[in-house]
Amino acid sequence: VGTGPTTGVVVSEDGYIISSAFNFASKPASILVELPGRKRLAAKLIATDRSKMLTLLKIDAKNLIPIKPASQKSFQVGQWTIAVGRTFEENVPSMSVGILSAVDRIWGKAIQTDCKVSPVNYGGPLLDINGNAMGILVPLSARKQGATAGVEWYDSGIGFAVPMEDIYASLKRLKTGKDLHRGLMGLVRFQSRDALGGKPVLGVIRVESPAEIAGFKKGDLILKLGGKKVFRQADVRHVLGRKYAGDEIEMTVSRKGKQITKKMVLVDVIRPFEAGFLGILPMREGNTNSTSVGVRFVYPNSPAEKAGLKVKDRITTFNGTKIVDTTQLSQMVNKLSPEQKVTLVYRRGKSEKTIELKLGHISNEIPVDLRPVILPLSEDEEKKDAKAPVTNTPKTGRFTAKLPNGEHSYWVFVPDFYNPNYKYTMMVWIHPTNDTMEAAMIKKWKTLCRKKGIIIIAPRATKLSRWPSTDAGFVKEAVEEMKEKYSIDSKRIFLHGYASGGAFAYHLAFKYRDLFRGVCVVDSPITERLLENDSDLPLQFYILTNGKLAQPNRNQIIRMLMGLKRMKYPVIDESFNDRETAYPSDDAVGRMAVWADSLDKI
C-alpha cells in the first residue's frame, strides 16, 4: 500500500479532488494537497469508491478549474493516450505515451492503455491528445478487490483508468460522505463452470439476498439485465460491474418457457449462508415406507430439546408440509437460517402435538454419549443361522479393487455382517505422501467400522510421493463405483486426510461438493481458495491439530479455521498432544467415528 506522495485531479471549483485509493488504504493521519503555484493545503478524506478504487478529497479552496472529461463515445482502440502523474516534487510531471488498448475492461469499470502505469502516476489522468481526461489511473483487477488489487501490472504495458465521465456521474454520491460499494444481487455461482462463455443459468442464490427476495430461482436463464440483453455469464458481470449498492436493477429470466421480470435493489454485503439447526439426529429406518421422521438423538440445549422433543418422537409435519423422509426434512431445515421461527407437528405414541420454535446454530459439539445404531442382520446372515444356502453376497472384510480401466486401485474395508437394507457411512481415506498407512488404518478403524456401520475406501495415489490433481477424477469414480455396489447414505460420505493427504482431501471436498458431506483432516491446512458455504451442498469440517506440530503449520491451520468460520461452515476444531507426526490416539479416532456417525444431523 502506498504511503508517500501521489497524484490527484480537481473535479469541482470548490475544492473536490479525485485520486486513486491506493495511497489512502493505510488511513493517513493527515493529508496535504499542493496545487501548482499555491501553498500546501490540508485535505479531508470525504469518501471512497470501493468498487473502482477512487478516493474523494476536499480542500478549502475556490475558483479551481475542474478537469474536462473526454466523451466515451469518442474512444477508439488504437488512439493516442498520455498517462500523467505528479508524484514527486518536480516542476515537470511524469508522462508516458501509449495507445488505448481496449475499452470496457474489468467488467465494464475501466479502459486499458499500454502506457506505463504505476504508483508514480496512480490518481493522475489518462489524457487524449487534446488534453481532455479519458479517465483516472488506478490499479484494478478482474479477479480481486481492494486498494492493491492490480498493482502486479506495474509498468507492464497493461494499465487501467476509470472513465472520467463515469467518475463525474458518481461524484454527487461520493460528496455525501458515504463510501460506494459494488452492487451485489446474491448470485453465488451459475450452473455452468464456464465463467466467460457459459449460459447465464442461475445456480446457487444466497438466502435472503436481493435475487432471492425478488423471487428468482435456481435454473432461471437470464435474458436481460439492466435493460441489456445478455447471452453469456460474462455479460452479466459486465452489467453488474458498473452498478453500486443501492442501485435498482431490473432482470428478466426464462423459467419453464415463461418470461419473468422483477426489480431488485443491489446491496454491498451478502451475508454468508448459515443453515439453521433443529437439534436432532434422525432414526435410520432402512427401506421402510414410513411417512415421518423418527428422532434418534436430541442435542443438549438445542431448539428441539427446549421445545420438548424426545427420542422416538416422530416428526410428521414441518412448516405446514407433510414430511415423507429424512432427506426432505433435512433440506427444508437447511434452507432456513438460525433464529427463524418454524412450526412442526410430532407424534408421541398415539398423541400428536404442534410446537413452534426458533432454529439455532449447528452444534459444534460431538455427541459423545450417542449410542451406535444396532445394525440388523442381513438376510444372508439369517440364512447362515438357519443353515440355508447363501448367494450373491457382496465382498466384506479387507480387499483390493481396481477401476474398469485397470490403471487405478484402491483398498476397501467392509464390516462383516454387511446388510444392504442399512445405509452405511463411507470414509474416503486420503493417505499422506509415501505411505498408504493401510495396516495402521485397519487396526485403528476396524472395530469402529463394525460398531458404527462405516465402510472405508482408500484410493492409492498414482504417484505415492504426491497426489497429482489428475487423481481427483479417479477418486470420484472409485467412490461412485462403491456407491453402486453397496448401500451408502449420501449424507454420510466424508473425506479423511492426514498430514500431506489433508490438502488433497480439501481439494476433493470443494471440487465435488455434490458428493461429499464432511471433511475430517489431521494436521493439514487448506492450500487453495475457500469456496462459499452452499445451502444445497452442505459441508461439515472436523479439524484436528497435534499440539506439537511446527508453529508455521499451526498458524496456517489457525488462519484456515478463521476463514471457514467466517464463511459460516459448521466446524469442530480440536487439538491433541501426541508425539510429533503421530496419527491420533484411539480416543481421538473414536471421536472422529462419532462425528462421522452424526453427519446427518438436522
3-state secondary structure of 515: coil
Cα–Cα distance for residue pair 557/551, rounded to 1 Å:
10
By 3-state DSSP, what share of the chain in percent is helix, strand and coil, each rounded to 5?
Answer: 20, 30, 45
Backbone angles phi, psi at 172, to 5 degrees: -60, -40
Class of 187-265 in CATH: mainly beta
* Predicted pLDDT of residue 36: 79
Cα–Cα distance for residue pair 113/95, rounded to 1 Å:
13
Would you state the cell numbers that stand for residue 219, as one nine-digit string?
Answer: 435454473
Whats the size of the chain, residue-wise?
Answer: 602
Q: Does 276-361 match 187-265 at the fold level?
A: yes
Would you state the cell numbers that stand for residue 281, as one nine-digit string?
Answer: 439426529
Beta strands in 75-181 (DSSP E): 80-85, 94-105, 110-113, 125-127, 133-138, 159-163
Question: Global pTM?
Answer: 0.78
The fold of the 276-361 domain, in CATH, is Pdz3 Domain (2.30.42)
Nearest of 478, 522, 481 to residue 503 by alpha carbon? 522
Q: Which CATH code, of 2.40.10.120, 3.30.930.10, 3.40.50.2300, 2.60.40.10, is assigned to 8-93+109-175?
A: 2.40.10.120
Cβ burial of 302 (10 Å; 0-12, 13-18, 19+) is buried
Cα–Cα distance for residue pair 225/211, rounded to 1 Å:
12
Bridge partner residues of 410 (DSSP): 401, 459
The fold of the 390-597 domain, in CATH, is Rossmann fold (3.40.50)
Backbone angles phi, psi at 468, to 5 degrees: -65, 145
* Predicted pLDDT of residue 1: 44
Beta strands in 452-531 (DSSP E): 454-459, 488-498, 518-522
**DSSP secondary structure string, 214-228?**
HT--TTPEEEEETTE
List all residues 6 or more positions away from 567 whose beta carbon is below 8 Å from its beta carbon. Answer: 272, 530, 532, 533
**pLDDT average per 10 residues of sequence, the chain (602 residues):** 76 94 85 83 94 94 93 94 82 87 92 91 94 94 68 76 95 95 90 83 88 93 95 92 94 94 94 92 77 93 96 95 93 92 94 95 90 68 50 84 86 93 95 94 95 95 91 95 94 95 95 95 88 88 85 85 93 80 86 95 96
* Predicted pLDDT of residue 29: 84
Instruction: Identify the DSSP state of 24.
Output: G
Bridge partner residues of 258 (DSSP): 255
The domain locations on the chain are 8-93+109-175, 187-265, 276-361, 390-597
* Predicted pLDDT of residue 391: 52
Cα–Cα distance for residue pair 450/28, rounded to 1 Å:
63
Bridge partner residues of 100 (DSSP): 113
Cα 216 to its chain centre, rounded Å, is: 20
